[in-house]
Chain A
Amino acid sequence: MRRAFAWIAFVGAAGLHGDARDSPLPLHAAIDDEPVPARAEDVVDYTLRARLDPKAHTLHGEGTIVWRNTSVAPVHDLWLHLYMNAFKNTSSAFLSERVGGRGSAASGDWGWIDVRKLVLRAADGAGMDLWPGAEVRRGEGRLGEAEGAISEPPRAGVPQAGRREETHQDDETDARVPLPEEVAPGATITLDVVFDEKLPAIVERTGYAGSFHMVGQWFPKVARLERSGRWAHFPFHHLSEFYADFGSYDVTLDVPERFVLGATGAAIESTVENGRRIERHVQRGVHDFAWTAWDEFVTLKDTIDGVHVTLLHPPGFGRIAQRELEALRFALPYFSARYGPYPYDVLTVVHPPDDAEEAGGMEYPTLITSEGPWWEPAGVREPEVVTIHELGHQWFYGLVATDEHAWPLLDEGLNQFAEVDAMAKWLGPGSLVDMVGLKVGDAEVQAVGGNASVHDEPVAQAADAFSSGANYGRLVYSRTASVLETVARVYGEEATLHALGVYARRYRFAHPVPDDLLRVFHETMGPRVAETLRAAFFDEGWVDYAVDGVWTQEAERAAGVFDRGGARETVDAGASEQGGWDSSVLVRRRGTLSFPVDVELTFADGSTHRERWDAEEGWRRLTWHGPSALVSAVVDPDGRLLVDSNPSNNFGAPPGAGRTPSVRPTAAPRTLERATYWMQLALQAVSP
């Protein structure tokens, strides 16, 4: 899902974040050596048919679900996610969790799903409707006991602090269906399902606005069963996204003829019957299916990197749509090269109309939604950054397919870094805003946001454990991205992207957990980087580098009483016969993270000297003897440490006491000049 487009990667032109020469690591094997799994394991296959009534905003669905127990344990019940019920009433987990963030505005119309039948097919062809025995409300039966269950038990050292206590007794988004008999490991069951649904007025990802319909989380969806036999089921929490098993989707959509459809997967059949448009979309190797229908869509088609791209946009948005296509032309091949080839034949981009903005900035398999008003100036990169962000999800949410509820950082966080990297590669320093001389970088915005909440709570926690939507955004998105960007700038951009590329390839279709990510970084970049990431993600890791003192004075000879050659000699203080200046700098690293860093010394004759400090200890005194007085010291002079909590204490000058030459603070001439000019312009705007 999109990150807030802050109304605002610093990539220097020359290999910016340091290059391989800076890296202490050995050169890596080519990324192509990391095998990419050819296809996902089919766990659950859906064959569905959905008929939309665009006036009543309802749909009728029916079809078949074939589910296989791929765990090591027998299964006695089935968990179904009925996420459209998140919008049924204010007692749902989604609407009752008042944490702010996206989707907080009241919907103008309720939405819900009613399952009519869920018939388990027997071997002899007979059927048994399981739905009468289903437990839908959380207050019922075993649902209450299951509250709080997430995909994996808490890991050692992984705090589950802050999880809310609400039990959501009346939530109807997470249903347990008792099975008449256990399903053995490897066994398959077939279910015939019939359901009716009312879409809400557009609210976070789904719903209608006029005749525009964005239909996500719309069918009864089997939760993922972990290999251990534990169901990764959870209600639709306000800050949470999704998690499911891979499978094949064969979905036939039935809408009025004048409607244009966009959906997950390729349309393999399209007919018009009795005034209805009927399209059949089929896609293997995905874990969700979403679609959209609108009678005003304008369609653009292109082929990018061998992928058939369909872009659906409102009338009048042609210029924005072209910008989104341009973003895809860069990002599709770029992400494929970085994180493994995009394995699907199609990609659909939906730009919702202005009054359905809540549907914008969302990812589904082979379908993403972008956003931005039709009049957006070219220098404000909202359509580009949202398109690239949602496209990046195809690799992390879509292909790696982590549990977005339990570990949002593995999707939104890593994808945010992928976005920052791609935007910088494509657009340079003004990757978010580049207009009238103002250049604002995506990485820089993430850095400021990430530092703002670093002491509040960990990055690596379940979505519903975050205290607020603001912290969820700052930590999951911004902090993760700025930590990884810092690693890239310090240890080498190629090494970092290589590590993430190995992770994305190795765990494609594999539902990894944070330990897997850390293992890959340990393997490819070494233990220090892995430990840094662990501390940053799990332990609220932070760091503040500072220049804590700068001294310089003319070199002095040794003075005092000396016993030399049997005689006692007193030497008075005075200038050293060799001349020159003795200087020292005290640099500190506060906090729990550490990165090797440069310290730049500037001397009175204008010369500079850099020293590398590995910063594994908390402080170091750097001493220097040279022909000139030291006038200033700067730690991290290239601004590589985006996670530095306080960059404004990264420099210092001699205090000017005793025999130390005084260095007077300079004025701020650029600030004076620009502030004067801007104020003059403002005055001219209001002057009579």
Chain B
Amino acid sequence: MTGPAASDEPVDDEWADAPFTAGRAADARARLLLRPKSARRARMHPFAILGLWAWQTALSLGVAIPAAALVARVYGMHPRADAPLWDAGGLALMDFLWRDARALSPVAATAEITLVVGAVGGLLPAAAVMMAMGRVPRHRTAATLSQALSAALWAMPAFSFLLVVFALVQGATLAMGYGVTQLVESTTTGLGAVRAERLSIASGVVFLLLASGLGVVHDLARAAVVCARARGARAIVLGARAFGAAPLPLWWSWAWRGLAAAVPVLAVAFFTGTVGGRGGATLALVAMLHQAVILARVSLHASWLARALRAIDGWPA
């Protein structure tokens, strides 16, 4: 893989004339230059990470507030407020879910819609974060929010194209994997049910690894959009080429961050399980821990995206 000479200075690549700067092209400060690889680091962009966290939090509150209002309508006059719902054993919670299932269905529908919005609309903040990490205005240390968003908007067609392509390919891979697991299980039952299931799972893991590799290529292709202004198939080729140059290190870069992101979730879950429905300072502590977990996960994701950006050269090979 070839690339620009190592330098701490931003590279004045052709991005400066990108369409999203139209109308402001005369303003040199609006031009986004490619950062040198060494500067494409998530830790240098705390506000981008906070922005991504804020986006997820805002969407989540859109579901959580109606859910909490529904609970408050029933338990608002209880001296412990909604604490009984979170007592160990789960009686009040199960009773509430069973009794108020109909009232909860709009909340459930809102949650489903929010997840769809998050899956599709999440492209924009993800692109903005990548732009912020990969690009910088001349003589500035970071792009402004509007600059990052403008650049992200420019990248949306390419990002959307990549989302559709990789969703189809990954979906097909997983479907094929499911078929293979069924085939393996049915043809190896002679070895014993458990062995057959384990072989089936092992064959499924192969396809999961393939799908995860495709996910890595997807992110690398998006990095190519950011770094090399690549679009469509060219972005995929650049992403695949970057992956091909160092598949295991890149996959492991993605994988260890994914594994690390699960650790705080489990750790905090055990803690919250022990405090149950306590309020006051304990609840505040739980809330802080939960948001720290979310921020840590966002940071790890951003860190991976930065790693993907570092894997892509500024110029198409």
Contacts and interface: CB of A to CB of B under 8 A. Distances in A.
Question: Can you list the 4 inter-chain pairs with the closest CB atoms, starting with the nearest?
Answer: A316-B194, A437-B273, A665-B76, A10-B89
Given A680-B294, A684-B298, 7 more contacts: A315-B192, A444-B94, A448-B94, A670-B81, A670-B86, A671-B64, A680-B60
Interface residues on A, range: 35 or more
B91 A671 contact: no
A671 B71 contact: yes
A316 B200 CA distance: 14
B37 to A, nearest CB: 23
A430 B273 CA distance: 10
24 contacts: A9-B89, A314-B193, A316-B195, A436-B270, A437-B269, A438-B273, A448-B94, A602-B79, A632-B79, A634-B78, A639-B84, A648-B75, A668-B68, A668-B69, A669-B68, A677-B291, A677-B293, A679-B64, A679-B114, A680-B56, A681-B294, A684-B56, A687-B56, A688-B123
B313 interface: no
B193 A436 contact: no
Interface in A627-653: 631-632, 634, 639, 642, 646-648, 651-653
A654 B174 CA distance: 58
A429 B79 contact: no
A203 interface: no
A445 interface: yes
Interface in B152-187: 159, 163
A296 interface: yes
A8 interface: yes
Contacts of B95: 447-448, 451, 647-648
Specify the main secondary structure of chain B where it touches its partner.
helix
B283 A669 contact: yes
Contacts of A430: 88-89
A663 B81 CA distance: 12
Contacts of B283: 669-670, 673
B44 interface: no
A436 B269 contact: yes
Interface residues on B, range: 35 or more
B210 interface: no
A353 B85 contact: no
A670 B59 contact: no
Contacts of A672: 64-65, 67-68
Given A439-B273, A651-B78, A682 B68 contact: no
B297 A684 contact: yes
B259 interface: no
A374 interface: yes
B29 interface: no
Contacts of A670: 81-83, 85-86, 277, 279, 283
B84 A673 contact: no
Give the interface centre of B77, B266, B291 by most chain A CB atoms within 10 Å.
B77
Contacts of B86: 670, 674
B83 to A, nearest CB: 6
A663 B77 CA distance: 8
A647 B89 contact: no
Contact of B57 (A439, A676, A687, A688): A676
A676 to B, nearest CB: 4
Give the interface centre of B61, B64, B119, B265 by most chain A CB atoms within 10 Å.
B64
Contacts of B268: 437
B68 A667 contact: yes
Given A444-B94, A672-B68, A675-B63, A632 B89 contact: no
Contacts of B82: 666, 668-671
A647 B92 contact: yes
A182 B86 CA distance: 66
Contact of A441 (B68, B73, B90): B90
Contacts of B81: 666-670
A680 B89 contact: no
A354 B63 contact: no
Contacts of A447: 91, 95
Contacts of A443: 89, 91
Nearest to B85: A671
B59 A683 contact: yes
